[in-house]
Structure formats: C-alpha cells, structure tokens
C-alpha cells in the first residue's frame, strides 16, 4: 500500500448512490475499499452481492464491528438520514473520518458534531449535495437574492426519497438567508386554503417539494422583482454526477481537522 492510499469503508453499497461509490472507489488508484456495511448481507463478500464487482471485500452488518476489525481512514455513508447520523457518531468514536451524503441534519446536530470533530481533531464532511453544478446553482442563487430578495425554491426528486424538503433546498434557503433581510413573501393577507399549498417556510423563503418516479434530483430557484423574474435551475440526470464531489471530499477530508458542511466550503 503506498503512503497516499486512503483506506475506505462504504455504508449502503447496494443503494443507487452506494453502487456508484463502490465503482468510483475501486476505479481510483489511490483509494482502497476495505469493507462495506450492509445490514442484509453480513458475512458475505462484495462479489456475492448483485451488480457488484468481483472482489473479496468483507460485508459487515454493523459499522462498529466493521471499524473494530478494519483499518479505515474514511467512511463514506450513503444510507438514509437516521443511519447517516448514527454512523457519523460511531466514526467519530473510532477516530475515522466520515464523508456523509445523507441529508436531514438540523443546525443543532451540525453544531454538536462540529464540536466533537474539533475536540477530537477529526475531519468530517457532510454534503447535502455532491453535484458540483448544484453547488454553483446555490452560489448563483445567493448572489442573485442580494438584488432580488423574493425567492421561491422548487425541488424535485424520485419518489423513493425519504425526507422533504431536500437538504439542497434547505441549504439554498440558508445561504439566501445570509444575504437578505427576513421578509414575508406574497400578499400580507394571503391565506392557505389547502394546507401546504404555499410550501414550507424558511425565514419567508418558500420551498416546494415534488416527488415523482422518473426524476433523479432537480432544483429551480425562482427570483422575482418588479417586471422581471430570474430562474436558476440545476438537473442531475444520472447519479454518476455526484461522484467527483464524493472523491474530492475523501481526498480533502484527510487534511481537515474540523467539520465542513456543504461541498461549496471545500471548493475554492
């Protein structure tokens, strides 16, 4: 093993994102896949799982056992919101750097995990969106909202997504909050005759979530001011779009000793 080789565990290898991550890690010369965590296939090898490469890589059903038995630098978690949080906690306990792609972290949870990461001097990356184009969409929206502060966000995902709104939509709203005064949008006396019709409310910014089979991950940020509107849109049409961001996170996390929330904070 060369000095630069990064030893990796992937949680959720059977998932749509997990499969792409297995491919990316095994295709990257300086990455070494050491094990995977899959609650349904403990004791098997990766090659025994459907649509996986023919590799003798052990499968564990529990991250704690996996990390006690496997020398690991980085765990990539692509499972689901509750296990993403649990795995982050376990990784910190074992001094392993977590790259977490699951969403649904509250501000309080991020603050708490930041504190632990800092105390332990361990890098952590939580990225609600690994697609570089989506990060640019968020940055452009933040720039635009400074001049056009009335904003509505429409996010669309496949119908298997568990949480709503998406982490990207929440993150976009938070970035916009930083550059505009809180304001109530729409008519001051508007009523919502059908519950939820106006979407979720983050400091006056409305978020609308669409779930449909056939969709992957899409977001449109609509900004309006007198006589004009601006639409900023990003479409992820294939999950391979997320892998350059996952790869960058794994490489960068080795040099970090704090928690970084959002891929934009790893980009120049």
Interface residues with ligand NAP (CB under 6 A)? 11-12, 14-18, 37-40, 78-81, 83, 101-103, 127-131, 160-161, 242
Nearer residue to ligand NAP within complex by CB, 180 or 247: 247
CB of 88 to ligand NAP, least distance (A): 12
CB of 62 to ligand NAP, least distance (A): 8
Tokens of 119: 């105390």
CB of 39 to ligand NAP, least distance (A): 5
Whose structure tokens read 């391979």?
A: 240
Q: Which among 23, 86, 139, 161 is annotated as catalytic? A: 161
Nearer residue to ligand NAP within complex by CB, 28 or 83: 83
Q: What is the largest CA-CA distance in the chain?
A: 66
Rounded Cα distance, 77 and 131, in Å? 16
Q: Which of 254, 144, 162 is nearest to 209 (CA)?
A: 162
Residue number of the CB atom closest to ligand NAP: 15
Q: Which among 19, 34, 87, 157 is annotated as catalytic? A: 157
Q: Which of 112, 52, 120 is nearest to 91 (CA)?
A: 120
CB of 63 to ligand NAP, least distance (A): 7
Rounded Cα distance, 114 and 258, in Å? 7
Contact 27, 250 (CB under 8 A): no
CB of 79 to ligand NAP, least distance (A): 4
Report helix, strand or coil for 156: strand
> Is 47 labeled as catalytic in the residue annotation?
no
Contact 266, 125 (CB under 8 A): yes
For 201, residues 6+ apart whose C-beta sits below 8 A from its C-beta are: 207
Nearer residue to ligand NAP within complex by CB, 101 or 149: 101
Nearer residue to ligand NAP within complex by CB, 9 or 221: 9
Contact 110, 262 (CB under 8 A): no
Report helix, strand or coil for 97: strand
> Is 161 labeled as catalytic in the residue annotation?
yes
CA 25-254-110 angle, to 5 degrees, is 100
Nearer residue to ligand NAP within complex by CB, 4 or 16: 16
Please give the positions annotated as active site.
157, 161
């Amino acid at each position: 093993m060369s000095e630069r080789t990064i030893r990796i565990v992937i949680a959720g290898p059977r998932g749509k994102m997990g499969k792409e991550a297995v491919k990316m890690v095994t295709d990257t010369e300086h990455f070494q896949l050491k094990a995977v965590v899959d609650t349904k296939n403990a004791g098997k090898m990766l090659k025994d799982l459907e649509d996986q490469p023919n590799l003798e890589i052990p499968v564990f059903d529990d991250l704690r056992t996996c990390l006690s038995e496997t020398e690991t630098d980085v765990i990539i978690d692509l499972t689901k919101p509750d296990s993403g949080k649990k795995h982050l906690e376990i990784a910190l306990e074992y001094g392993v750097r977590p790259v977490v792609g699951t969403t649904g972290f509250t501000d309080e949870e991020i603050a708490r995990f930041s504190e632990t990461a800092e105390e332990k001097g361990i890098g952590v990356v939580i990225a609600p969106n690994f697609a570089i184009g989506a990060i640019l969409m968020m940055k452009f929206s933040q720039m635009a909202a400074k001049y056009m502060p009335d904003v509505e966000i429409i996010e669309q995902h496949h119908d298997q997504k568990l949480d709503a709104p998406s982490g990207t939509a929440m993150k976009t709203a938070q970035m916009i909050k930083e550059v505009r005064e809180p304001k109530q949008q729409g008519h001051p006396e508007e009523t919502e005759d059908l519950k939820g019709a106006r979407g979720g409310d983050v400091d006056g910014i409305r978020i609308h979530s669409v779930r449909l089979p056939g969709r992957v991950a899409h977001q449109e940020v609509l900004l309006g001011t007198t006589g004009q509107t601006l639409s900023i849109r990003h479409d992820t049409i294939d999950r391979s779009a997320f892998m350059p961001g996952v790869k960058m996170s794994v490489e960068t996390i080795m040099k970090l000793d704090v928690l970084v929330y959002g891929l934009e904070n790893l980009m120049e």
